[in-house]
Amino acid sequence: MAKTISKRFLGGIAVILFTILLVLPSGNSRVENLLIPDAHAGFFNKDLELFDEVIDLIADKYVYSPDFKRLFSAAIDEMLVAADHDRFNVRKTSTGQIIKANKHQVQYNLNYDQAHDLASFKKVYHFLLDESHGRYTKEQLETAAVIGIMNSLDPYSQYLDKSSFDKSMRDTEGKYGGLGMIVTQKDDQLMVVKTMKNGPAQRAGILSNDIFIRVNGRNVKGMQIHDLAEVLRGYPNTKVTISLKRPIENGSRTYTLTREIISIETVEYQTLDKGIGYIKINSFSKQTNDQLKESLAQAKVDGVKAFILDLRGNPGGLLNQSVKVASHFLYRNRMIVYTQGRRKSDYKEYRAQYKNSLLHMPIVVLINRHSASASEIVAGALRDSGKALIIGENSYGKGSVQTIFRISNGSGLRLTTSKYFTPSGIDITEHGIVPEIKIVKEIVKGETIGPESIIQGEKGLRTPSIQLREADLEKFFKEIDTKTVKEPTQVKQVERMENDINLRFAHMLLNNLTIANKKQTLDKAREIAANIHY
């Protein structure tokens, strides 16, 4: 009997030890910190498991070598905020800092050593916990510390609680369902702007200007638009009941709709005159490349000879979609972008994929200060290829890659793990994409305008380019219009472009061009610029 009990006991210990090995966080794990953080924790104490996991992920995966002194300082500062900072007296000393509450105090110092700073942080954590007297919980204090750390890294790294993490996963995986309607808030009312083609809302007969009354029996009065959006969206094949009031009718109509995957139209296409195709990409989602293929097929039917690719206001999206989009206009296997993490081994190249591309067609790319991330990858790749001409403003400069990690408690981290660079090695975060032809509202003091202007380019170089002012271009086009007799077939095209100076200038550059040659396009731009009265 004793032997059986002994075997069971040893077996239990083996299971416990095996389980402990399984739950060790990935990366630079430290067993001593996980099992016995300090005197406050027993063998099975779970205090700061989340925090330890986050620190190890940052130490292992973050794009830059972590500054642990800054990280732990940010964690302590955020914990003090959560614990009601006014209750504590914080002062610096020659050897570190002291936090005092009533008759109790804790003294600590931070350097740049991870283990040392972690031990100092835990002293502060347990001191604040002892002083809580029920005002805040362990979870609230720990979460505050994690948020403090993540907010100190960069603008794109962040902590995602379980709800935010689940939402992010649904969005990334394309599993988020909707009703196929665009909603706005006007005069404190939530109303339908329009319904999407063949979506659940359109099939049910919902119309523009219908006003929301209730959602799932809940009165929407006082609800904000983002709150309504959260209620309307959800997993596909789940139901939502909405009551709407139609302005021309008395009473309300109630609909029970089933959510579906809604395919957002990220690509707009139109064939302009002179055989020029206009492609507007609003973002890079899972559907973007498929939608672009449809547009290019239509362009082929229409006999298009050149393209204007409009990436203005495009905030980015999926990296693989930007690679596919750029591939349509480049030689197969030409580099489009490369990413580099902290270590030399964290290097990856992305190259053009298609054998039958449109690389010989002239193309102009439009960007502005709101063109970011994936749109900068496309613009940078096409510019560096020597085929495309870039027109507009300097782009946003968002050249970092974020990876989403699942944490063991169900929450997650969005962590910057690498940066991406154009084929010529330009750091997009530092410089953005600088157009060869800048079209600006006003000229900054000391800058020049005209066909041989000198503007600030990449890597701090002052680069020859063309810099034009919108007002001068508007005047130039008005002078042309007064001398030109418009044919009926041109009127619609002119109306589209008359309020879009950048688009019209791009259209003018592509007139009569037959090959993709940046020098030839730029020479034509200089010729036009020389005829503008400044």
Distance of alpha carbon 150 from alpha carbon 404, whole angstroms: 13
pLDDT at 308: 97
Q: CATH number of the domain that 411 lies in?
A: 3.90.226.10
In the three-class reduction of DSSP (H, G, I as helix; E, B as strand; rest coil), residue 459 is classed as helix
pLDDT at 18: 32
In a shared domain, residues 331 and 465: yes
**Domain-located, residue 518:** yes
Please tell me which residue in 152, 285, 373, 385 is annotated as part of the active site: 373
496-499: long-range contacts (C-beta < 8 A, 24 or more apart)?
A: 496/270, 496/272, 497/272
Distance of alpha carbon 312 from alpha carbon 281, whole angstroms: 8
- In Å, what is the CA distance from 68 to each residue of 62, 105, 120, 207? 12, 23, 12, 55
In a shared domain, residues 195 and 279: no
**Domain-located, residue 164:** no
pLDDT at 39: 36
Q: Which of 215, 231, 261 is the last residue of a domain?
A: 261
pLDDT at 517: 85
In a shared domain, residues 312 and 192: no
**Domain-located, residue 130:** yes
Distance of alpha carbon 384 from alpha carbon 337, whole angstroms: 10
Q: Within 13 A of 80's CA, how many CA atoms are on the CB side?
A: 20
Please tell me which residue in 61, 387, 398, 419 is annotated as part of the active site: 398
pLDDT at 453: 61
Distance of alpha carbon 276 from alpha carbon 270, whole angstroms: 9
In a shared domain, residues 193 and 274: no
In a shared domain, residues 371 and 435: yes
The whole-model pTM stands at 0.75
**Domain-located, residue 140:** yes
SS (H, E, C) 393-429: CCCCCCCEEEEEEECCCCCEEEEEEEEEECCCCCEHH
What b/e string do you get for 30-52 counting C-beta neighbours within 10 Å, with b at 16 or more?
Answer: beebbeebeebbeeeeebbbbbb
Please tell me which residue in 56, 117, 384, 472 is annotated as part of the active site: 384
Residue 393 structure tokens: 């403003």
Mean pLDDT by 10 residues, the chain (534 residues): 41 35 31 31 64 95 95 96 85 90 90 94 94 88 96 94 83 75 86 89 94 94 87 91 93 94 87 94 91 97 96 92 97 96 94 94 95 96 93 93 90 94 92 90 69 55 72 87 63 64 94 85 88 81
Q: Is 398 a catalytic residue?
A: yes
In a shared domain, residues 223 and 359: no
Read off the amino acid at residue 287. Q
**Domain-located, residue 115:** yes
Q: In what order do the strands lie in the sheet with 267-272?
A: 267-272, 276-281, 306-310, 363-367, 388-392, 437-440, 462-469, 450-456
Using CB atoms within 10 A of its CB, is residue 14 exposed (0-12), middle (13-18) or buried (19+)? exposed
One-character DSSP codes across 259-278? -EE-----EEEEEEGGGEEE
Cβ pair 366, 308 in contact under 8 A: yes
- In Å, what is the CA distance from 401 to each residue of 316, 318, 340, 417, 451? 11, 10, 9, 6, 37
Distance of alpha carbon 125 from alpha carbon 55, whole angstroms: 15
Distance of alpha carbon 65 from alpha carbon 26, whole angstroms: 17
Q: Is 290 a catalytic residue?
A: no
| H/E segment holding residue 112 | none
Closest alpha carbon to 374 in 483, 470, 289, 299:
289
Q: CATH number of the domain that 247 lies in?
A: 2.30.42.10
Q: Which of 246, 261, 276 is the last residue of a domain?
A: 261
pLDDT at 494: 54
Question: What is the total count of domains within the chain?
Answer: 3
In a shared domain, residues 213 and 336: no
Using CB atoms within 10 A of its CB, is residue 214 exposed (0-12), middle (13-18) or buried (19+)? middle
Closest alpha carbon to 381 in 345, 351, 413, 412:
351
Strands (E), 216-367: 218-219, 239-245, 253-258, 260-261, 267-272, 276-281, 306-310, 335-340, 347-351, 363-367
**Domain-located, residue 354:** yes
pLDDT at 198: 86
Closest alpha carbon to 274 in 308, 310, 304:
304
Whole-angstrom distance between the N-terminal and C-terminal Cα of the chain? 102
89-98: long-range contacts (C-beta < 8 A, 24 or more apart)?
A: 96/120
Q: Angle, to 10 degrees, between the axis of helix 374-384 and the axis of helix 319-327? A: 30
pLDDT at 486: 59
Cβ pair 399, 429 in contact under 8 A: yes
Q: Is 100 a catalytic residue?
A: no
In a shared domain, residues 396 and 487: yes
What b/e string do you get for 158-186 counting C-beta neighbours within 10 Å, with b at 16 or more?
Answer: bbbbeeebeebebeeeeebbbbbbebeee
Residue 450 structure tokens: 């005209």
**Domain-located, residue 21:** no
In a shared domain, residues 325 and 402: yes
- Domain hosting 81: range is 31-153
Q: Which of 230, 261, 292 is the last residue of a domain?
A: 261
pLDDT at 462: 53
In a shared domain, residues 253 and 139: no
In a shared domain, residues 362 and 507: yes
**Domain-located, residue 3:** no
In a shared domain, residues 282 and 223: no
